[in-house]
Structure 1
Amino acid sequence: MVTTYSYLLPLAGLVTLQSCHSGARKSNKDAKPLNIVYIMTDDHAQQTMSCYDKRYIHTPNLDRIAAEGVRFTNSFVCNSLSGPSRAVLLTGKHSHKNGYTDNTEGALFNGEQQTVQQLLQAGGYQTAMIGKWHLGSTPTHFDYWTILPGQGEYYNPDFITPEGKIRREGYVTDIITDMGIDWLRTKRDKTKPFCLFVHHKAIHRNWMADTSDLALFEDKTFDLPANFWDDYEGRIAAGKQEMSIDKDMTLIYDLKMLDNQVEDHYRTLYVRKNDTLGTYGRMNTAQKAAWNRHYQPIIEQFKKAKLKGKELAAWKYQRYMRDYLKVVKSLDDNVGKLLDELEKEGLLENTLVVYASDQGFYMGEHGWFDKRFMYEESMRTPLIMRLPKGFNRRGDIPQLVQNIDYAPTFLDLAGLPIPDDMQGVSLLPLLRGENPADWRKSLYYHYYEYPAEHAVRRHYGVRTERYKLIHFYQDIDSWELFDLQEDPMEMHNLYGRPGTEDLTRELKTELERLQLQYDDPIRSLNN
């Protein structure tokens, strides 16, 4: 039997929102200029912040930002991939406009183009970038920068500076935070406003915790997501991915089962002489001892269990969740350290503190880890802000926002003009408590990296407050339509079903409108 669907059409009369140029500097000459601290993590799932979701972990310091400011409940990215997401942050433009569409080998961000740090610097701000850069090229228009090479390492990491490469002893999340604090204390000009980017490696694969946190969560068993055993019926691209916890999460690289008796089809890829985990070989004697004390008993238990099939997949999920959340715990601790330093230095009242991730992540939903797809868990990203004095908005902000909006927001806060070619809009009206009637009603997404790791096909689409329409293209030509209100887990593709014709037509019209607005030449593939 075929089910007939009928829907209200919510998209009529959409207004194209233009960037605000209102500024935030006060005319009072005694008012302190407003600073910006932007904290970014890599692959932080919104599900693993307790201010969003209390199922997995308590994150008191991240929760503090939300409690003393705002939580965006509909925050999304344009392209769920690390490098492209960072390029969007810096330019306020979609990937096809800033030129950094994917992470393929040799990809370089063009630092000569207009960036938010360039405009802030020209407007009298000090700019600093510390931590994960992951854009291939050398940072530009920063008064101070120290970055991880590539993905960086969890233990005893190298950093690239203008003077050359240095190695720092310790755990990477602690080190990046301490470097940010040191810049605030000793390296900035305290007579000038600043914009400090603190970009963490955490919580990127392969989820290696600080040795002090290795024992955490070992007594906790996590419920499998309701769609963990998804069979991807009606979703061709979802069935072709290679990011399954069952089939693609590795025993050695991801789950640290360092033993010659453990079979792993990724062994030849990840074994590097005597440094099986890459990072493991960088550890000092004390770190290795702590690591081995923790993981060796787990390895022995795993070998004895001889798990297969669904039992093995479920075991992998538990190991993944525990390792991931340990890295979150260290991140949350370090956010607290940075907040305490800002308070100690008397900076909180005149500083916007932003916490976001470069994209979301799958915590077993659809049976997956990683990101890339336009589905909710990866397109959706955490975004919380602690607001400076004078901004009284508190609680949730429900409007649709996207990472193209960060750069315009920072410029607006600094009282600087927002260039017309920036495609995002300032969030300051929302932070002031306004509720603009003409706020955007839809978002545009475009993912480019295929063929590549995880085999997620190229696709683009539109997301409204209730619906999502996706077009997979290149090696396959497939459309997907979801009602997020009735099917929040995106299990039932409604495209082509009787009763959805008018909705589909209207969503395609809206998709084309967005592609015209953002000048994406891919729009010819819409029909």
Structure 2
Amino acid sequence: MKTLKLVLICFLALSYSVRSNTDPIDKKGKKKPRNVVFILTDDHRYDYMGFTGKVPWLKTPHMDKLAEEGAYFSNAFVTTSLCSPSRASILTGQFSHSHTIVDNQAPDPGNLTYFPQYLQKAGYQTGFFGKWHMGDHGDEPQPGFSHWESFPGQGVYYNPTLNINGERIAYKDSTYITDLLTDHAIDWMKNRDKEKPFFLYLSHKAVHAAFKPARRHKGTYAGKKIDLPSTYDQTKTGAYKDLKWPQWVADQRVSWHGVDYMYHDNRDIHEMVVDYCETLLGVDESVGAVMQYLKDEGLDESTLVIYMGDNGFSWGEHGLIDKRHFYEESVKVPLLVRCPEIFDGGVKPKAMVQNIDIGPTVLAEAGVKQPEQMPGVSFIPILSGDKNAPRRTEVFYEYFWEYDFPMTPTVFGMRTDKYKYMKFQGIWDRNELYDLQNDPDEMYNLIADPDKQDIVKSMSTAIYDWLEETKGMQIPLKRTIKYRYGDYKHPNEY
């Protein structure tokens, strides 16, 4: 197994040398900075889109078209499956232990540089619209954006108040947040300086709990049901003991993040999935509206469009809902990429990519040198057909125990194309090893298999090597305000 250091050196050495022959060139013979649209959604799991077939009755025509005309990365991962840490990793290009925003309460340390700041220095006009929720819960304008529209914390689905460049404006009359953000983002593009390149960061609240669809979509999927996953009942029947799952997984079944007491409520899981999918319809229409604007302006061929989720979401797998854990449904995210000027549509790369690759990808297309503190790599060479494009042989994962949600322990993990290993910290329980090729549902924990001990040892060693090389051997504790037991009010506040 290659060490992380060698892999990163290979990534950085190649990420700037590869360019599509169709890249536009200015009068001085230099590559023109490319316009970029980045759309981020909340809690959208990787396979809940119409074209994947996971939910036969779910229709997402605009996402389907984006995948058809562009690319769908089926192996896109976050480094931490939680809102604030993931968003910080996207913006800084760093792992959670590096940027230190390790949970939804940890504040920004004040020494971070977001990749849009480099775009501004390169002459880009940059606009942010939507959920920030990274390092603090405020709505104040943040560095790197020449235009700013946001709201405090998780926000609300209806009648929001937006901080627009420092002025707070309240919206009434059942204004729906997904529609409002989309309209404002398109208006900003319409009124931008046409002589400068632009970067749009459209950050939706949807589809975070408590799910609320647009009124026009309410009832679209009433009565529909999903096929419950194969691991749904194991913690209920006790089969998890034979499968050698950790005890903490079974204990979560009747917790905030368990299927028998979801968000401390007794709702039916199928009803919640329907609400989730109906809420997703507004996001799909947002994608369609943005793409239609680009087409109307003649920008759809040359603009790089990236659609991504900040983390995945479990719907009953291992008896769990929500995120945080390192199972596939939680850590995988949708990643759709489109730019006909660079690559042909219909591409479905199997390469593993992570959220720390977003910054390097955008900066590379802007012609901006990648900062040394970013260990990620541009994934454009993979899409443009370069046979020598760097490809990850593994991804690493970390999640740090939270005071307000103590059900999930600290975990450090590693995933290859073949195996996934989870190493838990601060809990008296067993670790996990899964053969992903023969057991994609992660049902059979092989951690105690005598034939797998060399694999366990090598992956454990690789995790420690990764942490040491990226200065992550210490958990970055933060002074934060904690809620008293029973004070937590609503799932949309975390």
Aligning the two structures, in what range does the TM-score lie when normalised by the shorter sequence?
0.7 to 0.9
Q: Please point out which of 156, 178, 190 is paired with 1:185.
A: 190
Distance (Å, rounded) in 2 between the aligned partners of 1:13 and 1:32 = 35
Superposed, which structure 2 residues align to 1:447-526 within 5 Å? 447-453=399-405, 455-476=407-428, 478-522=430-474
Q: 1:228 aligned to 2:232? A: yes
Distance (Å, rounded) in 1 between the aligned partners of 2:194 and 2:26 = 19
**Cα drift, residue 394 of structure 1:** 4.1
What SS does the aligned partner of 2:163 have?
strand
Superposed, which structure 2 residues align to 1:152-231 within 5 Å? 152-169=155-172, 170-186=175-191, 188-231=192-235
Structure 2 residue runs of 5 or longer lacking an equivalent are: 476-494
Q: 1:16 aligned to 2:15? A: no
Change in 2 beyond 3 A, CA 1:455/1:160: farther
Is the CA contact 2:18–2:386 (under 8 Å) kept in the aligned structure 1?
Answer: no
**Cα drift, residue 345 of structure 1:** 1.5
Q: Please point out which of 400, 405, 413 is paired with 2:352.
A: 400
Q: Percent identity?
A: 37
What SS does the aligned partner of 1:175 have?
helix
**Cα drift, residue 221 of structure 1:** 2.9
**Cα drift, residue 162 of structure 1:** 3.0
**Paired residue type of 1:52:** T
Distance (Å, rounded) in 2 between the aligned partners of 1:54 and 1:227 = 16
Residue correspondences, number: 448
Residue equivalent to 1:239: 250
Distance (Å, rounded) in 2 between the aligned partners of 1:412 and 1:438 = 14
Distance (Å, rounded) in 2 between the aligned partners of 1:437 and 1:388 = 19
Change in 2 beyond 3 A, CA 1:54/1:348: same
Spell out, residue by residue over 1:278-310, the C-alpha distance to the aligned partner (whole angstroms, 9 max, x if none). Answer: xxxxxxxxxxxxxxxxxxxxxxxxxxxxxxxxx
Per the normalisation by structure 1, the TM-score is: 0.81
Is the CA contact 1:393–1:433 (under 8 Å) kept in the aligned structure 2?
Answer: no
Is the CA contact 1:354–1:385 (under 8 Å) kept in the aligned structure 2?
Answer: yes
Spell out, residue by residue over 1:43-99, the C-alpha distance to the aligned partner (whole angstroms, 9 max, x if none). Answer: 001221123334241211011111111111111000000011100000100011112
Spell out, residue by residue over 1:131-152, the C-alpha distance to the aligned partner (whole angstroms, 9 max, x if none). Answer: 0111226411210011121001
Residue equivalent to 2:40: 40
Q: Which moves more between the two structures, 507-516 or 325-334?
A: 507-516
What SS does the aligned partner of 1:373 have?
coil
Distance (Å, rounded) in 2 between the aligned partners of 1:371 and 1:66 = 25
Q: 1:123 aligned to 2:159? A: no
Residue equivalent to 1:361: 313
What SS does the aligned partner of 2:315 have?
coil
Distance (Å, rounded) in 1 between the aligned partners of 2:362 and 2:424 = 34
**Cα drift, residue 513 of structure 1:** 2.7
**Cα drift, residue 123 of structure 1:** 0.8
Distance (Å, rounded) in 2 between the aligned partners of 1:38 and 1:140 = 17
Spell out, residue by residue over 1:186-212, the C-alpha distance to the aligned partner (whole angstroms, 9 max, x if none). Answer: 2x2111001100000000001111111
Is the CA contact 1:46–1:53 (under 8 Å) kept in the aligned structure 2?
Answer: no
Change in 2 beyond 3 A, CA 1:522/1:230: farther
Residue equivalent to 1:277: none
Residue equivalent to 1:140: 143
**Paired residue type of 1:164:** E
Distance (Å, rounded) in 1 between the aligned partners of 2:81 and 2:310 = 7
**Cα drift, residue 12 of structure 1:** 5.9
Superposed, which structure 2 residues align to 1:273-422 within 5 Å? 316-392=268-344, 394-422=346-374
Superposed, which structure 2 residues align to 1:68-79 within 5 Å? 68-79=69-80
**Paired residue type of 2:249:** A
Residue equivalent to 1:83: 84
Distance (Å, rounded) in 1 between the aligned partners of 2:279 and 2:438 = 34
Residue equivalent to 2:485: none
Distance (Å, rounded) in 2 between the aligned partners of 1:341 and 1:250 = 42
What SS does the aligned partner of 1:323 have?
helix
Residue equivalent to 1:268: none
Residue equivalent to 1:435: 387
Distance (Å, rounded) in 2 between the aligned partners of 1:189 and 1:476 = 58
**Paired residue type of 1:34:** R
Residue equivalent to 1:51: 51
**Paired residue type of 2:292:** D
**Cα drift, residue 249 of structure 1:** 3.6
Change in 2 beyond 3 A, CA 1:426/1:339: same
The Cα RMSD (Å) is 2.1
**Paired residue type of 2:166:** E
